[in-house]
Amino acid sequence: MKKFLDDDFLLTNNTAKKLYHEYAKDMPIIDYHCHLNPQEIYENKKFTDITKLWLVNGTYGDHYKWRLLRAYGVSEDYITGNKNSYEKFSKWAEVIPYTIGNPLYHWTHLELKRFFNIDDLLCPKNAKKIYDECNEKLKTDDFTPRRLMERSNVKVVCTTDDPCDSLEYHLKLKKEYNAVKVLPSFRPDKAINIELEGFNDYLNRLSGVVGYHISSLTELLKALEERIDFFSKTGCRLSDHALDRVMFKAATFSEVNDILQRKLNKETLSEDEIKQYKGFIMLFLGKQYAKHNWVMQLHIAALRNANSHMFESIGPDTGFDAINESVNIIELKQLLDKLAYDNLLPKTILYSLNPNDNQLLATLMGCYQDGSVSGKMQLGSAWWFNDHIDGMLTQMKTLANVGLLSKFVGMLTDSRSFLSYPRHEYFRRILCNMIGTWVEEGLYPADFDILKQIVQDICYYNAANYFEI
């Protein structure tokens, strides 16, 4: 019987062990998509409570864990409610032994082991001991946001930032801290989602940032271009879009300006009008990204805020999202094709929350590899509900089957926690075991010069070259 979480965790053959321990283990990390707070990185305050760092702080925290707590039968008082920190921690200790088969069992114990040197398996019997031990260690200088990243060998993190953000803390970090590059990513969803109730209010906010009233399409495009220029000067290399539904329909400038005017007048838009507006704005933004040599990330097929009662009670990003229907591959093709036709398709990463989309996206992106950049079009890493063993293997095997796994830009955390970096270790072990198994089964030769390059490229160098950071 193999021991749980030993040095060869997830590594089932000698080639896999060699690939991981000699080539992958110590590679730096580029976390090119996360939701860390740049203010917390700048202020670098110590965390005093493992619950607030690891589980929940008000309605902000790890909704992966929250979903399992609810599924176990834990009331909301112990999740986002008013129970004290230890009571909330103890509930997770009660649930964790029963999360068999879920990656959170592995992540939880990897984080305790890697950051706190705790090998005990969390359970109700040792919950108070582990809680106290973690909180005592949090008093040391090893548990500030910066030190947690440095201890994890992180070289770059890319946060997620709205066009209206001042990037105040990115600018300060750029001047005062260089051990880890903290770069913004441009996330203009609120300027694109014209169908949402808060769209007009958002344009008023954007107007305040750029210093002129946005009352036409000309002014909106001007504002977006100015914010892209500002982000670029601050070090931005990526955009990010939550395209829960891919929507695209060709339209003229005049048609889209009329649609915008109708929205500003609080009129109801048809679905075709929404598609025309979104398609036009995405084309405009894609061309801007190409001019700035940015990477465009498209996160597709999330069904957000499915539980309307809980959304109204505690807000978004609290564990009530699901997988949406499959990507509209035809409308996605139209978007990419128009950009490519104009020779302004930026480097692009396509993610879908729906695992049925892996082959759709992998084959579509192959149509737009143009030889200008190695791995220009990327099949995004297994994301959110898919970042488990099966999901990672499915994503990588699909890419290997119809594209070039060797040019994959690798893993990201997509996390709000400074303790999430063992997810890169988790990914690297799975990657090395998959490749090692292929070698052991005679599906690829034991050429360790090439294998070393492939593994280290996927872990680090591909991302460093792709994002030019």
Query: Which string of DSSP letters, residue by residue, matches 131-169?
Result: HHHHHHHTTSGGGSHHHHHHHTTEEEEE--B-TT---HH
Sequence-distant (≥ 6) Cβ neighbours of residue 385 within 8 angstroms: 322, 323, 353, 391
pLDDT for the residue 60: 83
Identify the pLDDT of residue 57. 85
Question: Which pLDDT does position 66 carry in this prediction?
Answer: 97
User: Any idea which residue has 């035809």 for tokens?
Assistant: 330
CA distance 331 to 466: 26
pLDDT of 59 strictly over 90: no
Residue indicated by tokens 């001047």: 175
Assess whether pLDDT exceeds 90 at residue 442: yes
One-letter identity of residue 387? D
Mean pLDDT of the 43-61 span: 91
Average pLDDT over residues 45-71: 92
- 418 pLDDT band, cuts 50/70/90, is very high
Tokens of residue 296, six digits: 């465009």
What pLDDT is recorded for position 277? 98
Question: If you write DSSP's letter for every residue of 189-253 in order, what string do you get?
Answer: HHHH-TTSTTHHHHHHHHHHHHTS---SHHHHHHHHHHHHHHHHHTT--EEEEEESS-------H
SS3 label, residue 302: strand
Nearest to 118 by CA among 137, 90, 144: 137
57-71, 164-178, 279-293: least confidently modelled range: 57-71
Q: Tell me the CA end-to-end span of the chain in Å, nearest whole number.
A: 43
Q: In the numeric block, which tokens belong to residue 189?
A: 């969803």
Distance separating alpha carbons of residues 372 and 355, to the nearest angstrom: 29
Q: What was the pLDDT predicted at 109?
A: 98
How long, in residues, is the chain? 469
Task: Report angle CA 188, 189, 195 to the nearest 5 degrees.
Answer: 135
**Beta bridge partners of residue 161, listed in sequence order:** 186
pLDDT in tens, 349-401: 999 999 999 999 999 999 999 999 999 999 999 999 999 999 999 999 999 99
Specify the 3-state DSSP secondary structure of 277: helix
Q: pLDDT (tens digit, 9 = 90+) per residue, 261-276?
A: 999 999 999 999 999 9
Q: Phi then psi for 367, rounded to 5 degrees?
A: -70, -15
203-218 pLDDT, tens digit per residue, is: 999 999 999 999 999 9
Mean pLDDT score across all residues of the chain = 97
Per the CB < 8 A criterion, the answer to whether 355 and 386 are in contact is: yes
Calculate the CA 180 to chain-centre distance.
18
Closest CA to 55 of 96, 5, 102, 12: 96
Query: Do the Cβ atoms of 116 and 137 come closer than 8 Å?
Result: yes
90-94, 156-160, 312-316, 436-440, range with the lowest pLDDT: 312-316
pLDDT digits (tens, 9 = 90+) for 450-469: 999 999 999 999 999 999 98
Mean pLDDT of 30-42: 96
Q: What is the pLDDT of residue 292?
A: 98
Query: Average pLDDT of 290-315?
Result: 96
Contact 37, 418 (CB under 8 A): no
